[in-house]
Amino acid sequence: MDNLIIALGWAGLYGPMALGAIGSIIGCALAGQAACGALLETETGHGRYVGIAAMPSSQTIYGIVVMFSLNRTVTIDNAPGLFAVGLLAGLALLFSAWKQGQCCASAINVSKIKPEIFGMSVAPAAIVEGFAVFAFIFALVISAGIPA
């Protein structure tokens, strides 16, 4: 049983980065597909479509930082905390990147028809990013209380 608990602790260490990366892959793919479609339908402004398609990649960066903040020798005492923080932060990053990718795809689709609303159309993606930042900050704060 102790080995299982230690293994879950190790999974918690790597979880924020891995789950954040999975979410970023999904989110960037969704937004990237919309950007490709917009490139065919518009004459200018291609750079902004490609740029917004990369927005969900930030959750991988947050996951890497959380992973480093959790990095310590895994013991029977700290493994449950590492697993809980790592898994929950990772899931929050995964879902925020995924949903941010959907917001970015919508922004790309609407702004290719009406370019003057591009700035406003990105606002929902920025709001979703804010929730990823909340999960990131709280994971950093709570990780300080996990025994070394």
Domains along the chain with CATH numbers: 2-143 (1.20.120.610)
Its pTM surpasses 0.75: yes
Tell me how far apart the alpha carbons of residues 108 and 31 are, in angstroms, rounded to a whole number. Answer: 8
**Segment 127-142, tens digit of pLDDT:** 999 999 999 999 999 9
**Segment 79-107, tens digit of pLDDT:** 999 999 999 999 999 999 999 999 999 99
Length of the chain counted residue by residue: 148
Model confidence at 1: pLDDT above 90: no
Spell out the long-range contacts of 112-118 with Cβ–Cβ below 8 A and sequence spacing 24 or more.
Answer: 112/37, 112/38, 112/41, 112/42, 112/49, 115/42, 115/45, 118/45, 118/48
Letter string b/e over residues 102-138, b meaning 16 or more CB atoms within 10 A of that residue's CB: bbbbbbbbebbeeeeebeebbebbeebbeebeebbee
Q: Cβ–Cβ contacts within 10 Å for residue 60, how many?
A: 23
